[in-house]
Chain A
Amino acid sequence: MPVRKTPDKTLGESLRDHGLSRRGFLKFCAATASMMALPPSMVPVIAAALDAARRPSVIWLSFQECTGCTESLTRSHAPTLEDLILNIISLDYHHTLQAAAGEAAEEARLQAMEDNKGEYLVIVDGSIPGPDSNPGFSTVAGQSNYDILMETVEHAAAVIAVGTCAAFGGLPQANPNPTGARSVMDLVKDKPVINVSGCPPIPMVITGVLTHYLTFGRLPELDAYHRPLAFFGQSIHDRCYRRPFYDRGLFAESFDDEGAKLGWCLYRLGCKGPSTYNACATMKWNDGTSWPIESGHPCLGCSEPSFWDAGGFYEPLSVPITATSGAILAAGALGAVVGGAATVLAKKETKTIVAHRQPVTVEELEDKL
């Protein structure tokens, strides 16, 4: 992958150079709007913006990750679109996708940083062993993940944390978090951080966020977890096609009961849809074929912080995470002992009082008259 400077051509010019007709561009904009979860009425705005957009330089850093996020992106169900996006952005550094290796690869990163100082985007997948962790837990070219991250984001325009590991720490951070894994936003405090969570995130959401930045030249509106509201603004539950069953109180109670066959709500099978914010219910997976709940499996809540430590995947949302009936009994027994001891003491005291109780005499009563 040759090191490129951010080209001077706008996206519109670049697309027309590729021989794209105006109808084709209109279609591209319709698809883009859909991808950014924007209404079709936004298409003219998008067309105007895209026409004038300039392609940014992107540096993709992979840390403690499983490459699932990259797999997801490259299996984006709109390959034409993905090609376009990946062609119109300048992906200057990506472990998995770049052709360069060894020092040349690292050189490419440094060059892109130098050339696009203050303008390039950094995409991160995977969590990072924190500054206090053993730097050897995860390194690239002998440099700790932490150092690479901090060095790379220093002059970046913004950071996009892709996947739950980068966004929230994910699996590496799960209890007991042996590597002291941290999320990007734990470490990067002075740059805009956008989280595209999910394990993996929906590919269209990754490209959607990039397109948004590309189209409008700024970051999308974010929720409290720095996730783009366009995709993470509503919970799975609120957009779930099975929601009417929840509202009517119709639940599958096992994976092969009548309710499961009839496609009823999966709440009782552990669905975390009510507390999970993501766009699966509308964007779906695998070329829009289906998504977990449609295929009969409860939502795991993978786009939320600590989802690995949030209780069993097949325990309903309302079930507490650690408490057990045994623990309650133990506490109860302790209570009985404490209360019992207190009462025995009080009783002993009272017994002494009763033993020394002075009977009321007529003389005492007469005194009162």
Chain B
Amino acid sequence: MEQLSVTLGSKAPCAGKPQDHGHTLPILHEIRHALERLIATGEETRIDLNAMPFGPGDLDRLRAWLGTGEVQASVSAMGLTLIQETAIPGVWLVDYQNADSQRLTLHIEIAPVPEILRPQPQDLAEAIATLDARMDEGQSNPPRPS
């Protein structure tokens, strides 16, 4: 998933290695607390990384801490949303992008499955009707993709 390697910092070549500003550790602690809540009560948490005062390299450092897991997914609605599981089960990176592949916001989601992957309850309520409609419409052949 190449797009996820986009960083918040400048990609311009820099003389030295970016400094550690000490901003990643508090977020890792926040994730830890969120995991505890998830395991104990099932409460899900979303952290908006756009609201973090990150300096150059901080996001990469956070991503290195979290590692890469097995699941990658994408949602195509109003542009792409890219989902990457981290090496920590239940901790997800959710990258919301617009139609021009520019990032709208980047979340860390602590949940069994990120919300955007799940069908929305209203959609689910309409699921049977949707299926029936498609069967009616197509008769014997599946409908052409819209």
A contacting B, Cβ–Cβ less than 8 Å: yes
Q: B139 at the A/B interface (Cβ < 8 Å)?
A: no
User: In the complex, what's the smallest C-beta–C-beta distance from B116 to chain A, in angstroms?
Assistant: 6
Partner of A289, one of B10, B46, B55, B99: B10
Q: Are B98 and A240 in contact (CB under 8 A)?
A: no
Cβ-based interface call for A80 (8 A): yes
CA A263 – CA B45 in complex, angstroms? 33
- Complex interface bits, A14-49 against B, C-beta within 8 A gives 1, otherwise 0: 000000111110111011011101011101000000
Residue picked from A30, A39, A284, most chain B C-beta under 10 Å: A30
Q: Is the CB of B96 within 8 A of A31?
A: yes
Question: Of residues B19, B58, B122, which shows the largest number of chain A Cβ atoms within 10 Å of its Cβ?
Answer: B19
Q: How far is the CA of A195 from the CA of B137 in the complex (A)?
A: 54
Q: What residues of chain B lie closer than 8 Å to A110, measured between beta carbons?
A: none
Known: A81-B104, A288-B8. A24 touches B55 (CB 8 A): no
**B100 CB contact (under 8 Å) in A37, A40, A80, A289:** A80
Query: In the complex, A104 Cα to B41 Cα: how many Å?
Result: 61
A78 touches B47 (CB 8 A): no
- In the complex, which residues of chain A have a beta carbon less than 8 angstroms from the beta carbon of B42? none
- Any B CB within 8 A of the CB of A79: yes
Question: In the complex, what distance in Å separates the CA atom of A284 from the CA atom of B107?
Answer: 17
B:16-30 near A, CB below 8 Å: 16, 18-19, 21-23
Give the residues in chain A near B120, CB-CB below 8 Å. Answer: 22-23, 26
Find out whether the CB atom of B107 lies under 8 angstroms from the CB atom of A23. no
- Mask of B29-53 contacts with A, CB within 8 angstroms, 1/0: 0000000000000000111101111
A241: which B residues are within 8 A, CB to CB? Answer: 21, 23, 53-55, 58
State which residues 283-298 of A face B: CB under 8 Å. Answer: 283-284, 287-290, 294-295
Residues of A within 8 A of B51 (CB): 34, 37, 39, 282
Does B55 contact A294, Cβ atoms closer than 8 Å? Answer: yes
- Report chain B residues within 8 Å CB of A5: none
Any chain B CB within 8 A of the CB of A178? Answer: no
Contacts of B123 in A (CB 8 A): 21-22
Contact of A43 among B46, B56, B78 (CB under 8 A): B46
Determine the chain B residues whose CB is within 8 A of the CB of A342 once the complex forms. none
Residues of B within 8 A of A30 (CB): 46, 96, 104-105, 107
Task: Report the bound CA distance from A288 to B9 in whole Å.
Answer: 8
Among residues of A, the one whose C-beta sits closest to the C-beta of B51 is A282
B53-A282 in contact (CB<8A): yes
Picked from B47, B50, B75, B115, the residue with its CB within 8 Å of the CB of A288 is B50
Which residues of B have CB within 8 Å of A295? 10
- A27-B8 in contact given A78-B102, A241-B58 (Cβ < 8 Å): no
Besides A31-B96, A241-B21, 16 other A-B contacts (C-beta < 8 A): A20-B77, A21-B78, A22-B122, A26-B115, A27-B77, A40-B46, A79-B100, A80-B98, A80-B99, A81-B98, A239-B53, A241-B23, A282-B51, A283-B50, A288-B103, A290-B10
Q: Which A-B residue pairs are the 8 nearest by beta carbons? A: A241-B55, A40-B46, A24-B77, A34-B105, A80-B98, A24-B78, A31-B104, A22-B120
